[in-house]
């Protein structure tokens, strides 16, 4: 029988009204379940379709890849992209995972479809914080929707986040009791994921900005998260995130963890790192059985 994934939220700050700059993470639960919003987007035996699902404050969207013809409950992976991207960024990786018999959901963050934020002013920083809170809820609701599927083993669900998706996703994963594994690619701690001109703020606004950054800093939340296997990947030649922020994020994750530092690796890393995390997830999620016949398979180069 499929077990339930418990969502545990423990945040002292309640949700505040928009515009006051204080954003809480506590949200009520929302009904789980997917609604298909498109036909099959890809060719071949795997079904990749756009989906939506309920959240506490509306509906979220993403792409869902489902292996055909598998009867036993399957493991699942939930993906979250970086700033400026969308669910299509992880679609190829989701297809590779589904080819091995994994149900894969690539989420759209709350930034998708929203207007770009100006770099100057406390208002954009507060709006950035609200979008992070909404994205945390989307991850929580996405995991709940995946866990509710009859073809998914809710005790074998993993989360994968890239860049800002790693930083924000880590906050969500820390509040989900029951994830089997987590993968973070080019994740950063501190101010590195906030593209704002903090030096242009007045003293009062600077204090408010620092409070928001601290509230959404994964390094503060990760130390007390449940012990579960975690993989961290980042490169020494990251052109987006400072090395210190990458190291701080990796150091904040509790054991057990595996940290892979890629020599000369850039922000997006490469195919070798993609292959490595797919193999790592195979082991942690106990992926078994032959690949889906006719589906694309990623091989080591």
Categorize the per-residue pLDDT at 299 as very low, low, confident or very high, splitting at 50, 70 and 90: low
Confidence (pTM): 0.87
Q: b vs e for 228-267, b when ≥16 Cβ sit within 10 Å of the residue's Cβ?
A: bbbbbbbbeebebbeeebbebbbebbeeebebbebeebeb
- Cα(109)–Cα(132) distance, integer angstroms: 8
**Is 289 a domain residue?**
no
CA distance 3 to 154: 6
Among the ranges given (26-30, 86-90, 175-179), the one the predictor scored with the smallest mean pLDDT: 26-30
Task: Say how far apart CA 60 and CA 62 lie, in whole Å.
Answer: 7
Parallel, antiparallel or unpaired: strands 47-55 and 58-66: antiparallel
Q: What is the Cα–Cα distance from 176 to 147, expressed in whole angstroms?
A: 12
Three-state DSSP class for residue 55: strand
Sign of the C-alpha dihedral computed for residues 86, 89, 92 and 98 taken in this order: negative
Task: Answer for the pair 203, 237: CB distance below 8 angstroms, yes or no.
Answer: no
Element housing 153 (H / E)? strand 152-162
The pLDDT of residue 31: 43
Does residue 1 lie within any of the structural domains?
Answer: no
* Tens digit of each residue's pLDDT (9 = 90 or more) over 105-128: 999 999 999 988 888 889 999 999
Note whether residue 237 is domain-resident: yes
Examine residue 23 and state whether it is found in any structural domain, yes or no. no
Whether residue 87 is contained in a domain is answered as yes
Whether pLDDT at 136 is above 80: yes
Query: Does residue 266 contact residue 239 with C-beta atoms inside 8 Å?
Result: yes
Could you tell me the two tokens for 78?
Answer: 């939930």
DSSP per-residue letters across 123-144: HHHHHHHHHHHHHHHHHHHHHH
Residue 298 lies in a domain: no
Mean pLDDT for 254-271 is 96
pLDDT at 14 over 80: no
pLDDT at 277 over 70: yes
Kindly indicate the confidence band of residue 301, based on its pLDDT and cuts at 50, 70 and 90. Answer: low
The answer to whether residue 5 is domain-embedded is: no
Percentage of the chain beyond pLDDT 90 is 58
Domain that holds residue 252: 32-284
**Nearest-5° angle of CA 164, CA 166, CA 172?**
105
What are 193-240's pLDDT values in tens digits? 887 778 788 888 989 998 998 899 988 888 778 889 999 999 999 999
Least confident stretch, 8-17, 53-62, 140-149, 231-240: 8-17
Q: Residue 70 sits in a domain of what CATH number?
A: 3.40.50.1820
103 within a domain of the structure (yes/no): yes
For the chain, how many structural domains are there in total?
1
Running DSSP on this structure, what letter comes out for residue 191? G
Using CA atoms, how far residue 41 sits from 36, 50, 162, 236, 297, in Å, is 12, 8, 23, 36, 18
Residue 139 has pLDDT above 60, yes or no: yes
What's the CA gap between 154 and 75, in Å, rounded? 7
Cis bond leading into 89, ω under 30°? no
């Amino acid at each position: 029988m499929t077990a339930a994934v418990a969502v545990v939220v423990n945040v002292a700050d309640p949700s505040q009204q928009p515009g006051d700059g204080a954003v809480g993470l506590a949200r009520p639960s929302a009904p789980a379940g997917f609604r298909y919003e498109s036909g099959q987007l890809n060719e071949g035996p795997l079904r990749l379709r756009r989906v939506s699902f309920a959240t506490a404050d509306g509906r979220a969207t993403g792409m869902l890849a489902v292996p055909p013809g598998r009867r036993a409950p399957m493991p699942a992976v939930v993906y979250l992209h970086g700033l400026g991207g969308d669910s299509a960024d992880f679609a190829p990786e989701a297809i590779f995972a589904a080819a091995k018999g994994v149900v894969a959901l690539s989420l759209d963050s709350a930034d998708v479809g929203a207007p770009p934020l100006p770099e100057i002013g406390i208002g954009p920083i507060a709006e950035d914080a609200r979008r992070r809170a909404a994205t945390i809820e989307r991850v929580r609701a996405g995991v709940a929707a995946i866990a509710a599927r009859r073809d998914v083993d809710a005790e074998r669900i993993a989360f994968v986040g890239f860049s800002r998706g790693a930083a924000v996703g880590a906050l969500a994963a820390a509040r989900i009791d029951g994830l089997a594994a987590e993968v973070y690619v080019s994740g950063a701690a501190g101010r590195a994921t906030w593209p704002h001109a903090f030096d242009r703020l007045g003293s009062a606004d600077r204090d408010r900005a620092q409070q928001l950054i601290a509230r959404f800093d994964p390094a503060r939340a990760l130390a007390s998260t449940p012990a579960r296997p975690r993989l961290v990947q980042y490169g020494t030649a990251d052109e987006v995130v400072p090395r210190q922020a990458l190291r701080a994020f990796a150091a904040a994750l509790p054991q057990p963890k595996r940290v892979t530092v890629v020599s000369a690796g850039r922000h997006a890393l490469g195919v070798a790192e993609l292959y490595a995390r797919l193999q790592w997830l195979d082991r942690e999620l106990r992926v078994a059985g032959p690949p889906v016949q006719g589906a694309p398979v990623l091989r080591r180069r």
